[in-house]
Chains A and B, each alone.
Chain A
Amino acid sequence: MLLLSACSGTSSDSPSGSAGGDAALGSAALVVAQGGLGDESYNDLAYKGFQQGLTDNGLEGTPIESDDVVGQGEQILRRAGDEGLGVVVDLEYSHAEVLPTVAADYPNTDWVLVNAEAAGDNVASVLFQEQEGSYLAGALAALQTVNTSDPKINADKVIGVIGGTQSTGIDKFLVGFIQGARDTDPSVKVLTAYSNDFADPTKGQQLAQSMFEQGADIVYAVAGGTGAGVIQAAKDAGHYAIGVDANQDGVAPGSVLTSMLKKTDVAVETVLKSYADGSFPGGTTINLGLAEDGVGLSDFQYTKDAIGQATIDKVDALKQKIIDGDIKVWNVVEQGYPDYYSGN
């Protein structure tokens, strides 16, 4: 919803018009989640959007990192409130209970929680429907794994997915992927594994190699920096990886079938823009799914020919069905585990 209005971009292309009129516009802060900056994934992507948002709207702002972001959360947020900051974007999910009380004590500051939901008139929450994009990735993989005219595809109807850690937040991706594959072709086997590390490419490479040896030809990596190793393994073995969060198609052109984009950068950028516009969506939860273009597949820049237009059209049709509500994608965070996947 929010993103759509931003994309239409009719309201304020002149920054001076809105920002100049509001002299009380305070500065911004970005509370970085566990893992810290430099994760080449969630935090870095959000930071990129944060910086872009600052530049576009003439705001001042700074990121805040802490080694103990879980325990220190409340004092950091309160300090930001004490300083009279205009808007604080919090990327750490574990602050969901703390943030509303802090926000209530600092009504003049706007608060944004990403990846979790928090209540409050001056709080906006941003949630991503990662399972929807993962469903499309699973459907695409199930369609492609039988496309044996592609030299990167073997005869076995096996695909794989590697999670960074076993948590519902990650299994949300995994289950969406598995559902997409099952719905498309029930005879496709989906291998699963966890790297238990978001920053270990070597482990990602080993896990992916092992999956390729078991007959897989497409492996989806939902494991931050660990995914770099999965992509490397796919390149070495002459198979495919599927990237996550950012567009990783160009990391190894032709070896990354697609990337499941989670546009944290766009979300943060857009929230900052609406804050600067004076249209901060306080009290609402922004759900960014396929319909809002908050998640989705990349545009197959290097793999268009290998996939073929027919398959791309099928995936597009599935996307439309999810947007229309004809396909319900399982959300592990809200619904728990489905009977076809128990989280192991």
Chain B
Amino acid sequence: MTSAPTQSAPVEPDPTPAGDPPLQRILIATGRVARHAGLPVVIALLVGAVVLLATGNDPIAVYGRLATEAFGTPSRINATLAATTPILFTAIAAAFAYRAGVFTVGVEGSFVLGGLTAAVIGANMGGFPPVVAVILPLLGATLAGGLVAAVPAVLRAVWSVDEVVTTLMFNFIVAGLAGWAVQSFFQERGQANSATAYVAENAELPALAPPGQTSWALIIGLLLLIGYAVWMRRSTLGFEFRAVGSAPRFSTAQGLRVRTVLLTALLGAGLIGGLGGGSHALGIVHRYSEGFSASFGFTGIAIALLARFNPIGILVGAILFGALNAAGATVQLFINLPVQLIDILEGTVMIFAVAVFAFPRLSKRWAARSERRRP
């Protein structure tokens, strides 16, 4: 078992030659990401332009304004990076599982329960030493995220129960559970809507450049991204992930630890999602409240697919969606632009990211089919 088979790979990321120097590999990977992700983004911008024209707006002006609102000044870059942080986590979580061919949609649930756990622990951290006050809630969040994924992981690894269904269902269970838990135990008095108490000051992840909201959560996310890249490349299990993801049957025949891979993939995605939720709670929201996650788990899926699980692609994709989120809100100060346009842009990128991703597989299948029909 020297190399992963690349033929008919359902989720095969393009490998970069390991012999090249890192910088060159980064450049190659960036080029590939641009190629794969560029098309969906361009299509989305065109669709958006049509919508803008139809509603009597000048697309160039709107896009220009969006760009300045996203990257125009240091404080706007800060806002973009703050919006990037939660989806960076969820994208890594999704990519982690997808590399093993496991299509979890449960990161959302892990993110939510992780956020609630960190908020509750964080609110009780007054008087603890600063580092402990941050690490304990994050640890709790990570475990909570893993817990959400535990049942689907076991079901998938042991009984081959389809993980899409189970993880999706667990999102609903978690949403209900979180609402009930806040209502019954953690509701802060004097708050009109479901919200926990504010976390203790020493449990907050400090902002990198106050008053901007980008916090140490981004650093944690970036370290996690590097860890993900190294682990996939350098560790034996990381290799097995890619092998199982590429050709599960072949891997079984080869004696790879398929069950361990499946279990680790789902649990790992849950743990990462939980850590993401915890970081979002301690870094940005500072509590758990209704609307804590703006479907970050699902945005993460889109980014992971757009990036084809490539770490650099994940970073670029997360920044792209973060920029849309941050700029999409404040651009309304200057242009009478409904927020739905941002939804259209994001949705179109997502659809075409998945479409571009699926297209080679479909064409391969068509080719195979037509070959079969031939006498």
Contact = CB atoms under 8 A, between A and B. Distances in A.
Interface of A: 29, 34, 36, 62-72, 74-76, 78-80, 82-83, 85, 93-94, 96-97, 101-102, 105, 115-117, 165-169, 172, 333-334, 336, 343
A333 B190 contact: yes
Nearest to B330: A79
B193 A93 contact: yes
A67 B343 contact: yes
Which 5 A-B pairs give the minimum distances between C-beta atoms?
Answer: A169-B192, A68-B294, A66-B329, A65-B339, A75-B79
8 contacts: A69-B291, A70-B285, A70-B294, A71-B82, A75-B78, A94-B290, A165-B290, A168-B193
Contacts of B191: 93, 96, 116, 168-169, 333
Given A70-B292, A75-B326, A105-B211, A115 B192 contact: yes
B329 A72 contact: yes
Nearest to A342: B184
Given A97-B286, A169-B191, 19 more contacts: A34-B290, A62-B333, A62-B336, A63-B332, A64-B330, A64-B333, A67-B343, A69-B291, A74-B213, A78-B75, A78-B79, A79-B333, A85-B333, A93-B192, A94-B287, A97-B198, A115-B192, A166-B180, A333-B190
A96 B188 CA distance: 13
B328 interface: yes
A107 B69 CA distance: 23
Contact of B329 (A76, A115, A169, A343): A76
Interface of B: 69, 75-76, 78-79, 82-83, 86, 179-180, 183, 187, 189-195, 198, 211-213, 280, 284-287, 289-292, 294-295, 325-326, 328-330, 332-333, 336, 338-339, 342-343
Contacts of B213: 74-75
B330 A75 contact: yes
Contact of A65 (B180, B295, B329): B329
A167 B290 contact: yes
Nearest to B338: A65
Contact of A334 (B189, B194, B212): B189
A167 B330 contact: no
B285 A71 contact: yes
A167 B194 contact: yes
A165 B187 CA distance: 14
Nearest to B339: A65
Contacts of A72: 79, 83, 325-326, 329
B101 to A, nearest CB: 30
B211 A64 contact: no
Contacts of A116: 191-192
Contact of B284 (A71, A93, A102): A71
Given A74-B213, A97-B198, A62 B192 contact: no
Nearest to B343: A67
A34 B179 CA distance: 16
B189 to A, nearest CB: 7
A313 B193 CA distance: 34
Contacts of A105: 211
B154 to A, nearest CB: 29
A166 B175 CA distance: 13
Contacts of A65: 329, 332, 338-339
Nearest to A61: B333
B174 to A, nearest CB: 14
Contacts of A101: 211
Contacts of B284: 71, 74
Contacts of B280: 71
Given A94-B290, A97-B286, A105-B211, A36 B339 contact: yes
Nearest to A27: B333
Contacts of B333: 29, 62, 64, 79-80, 83, 85
B12 to A, nearest CB: 33
A94 B330 contact: no
Contacts of B294: 67-68, 70-71
Nearest to A128: B192
B211 A166 contact: no
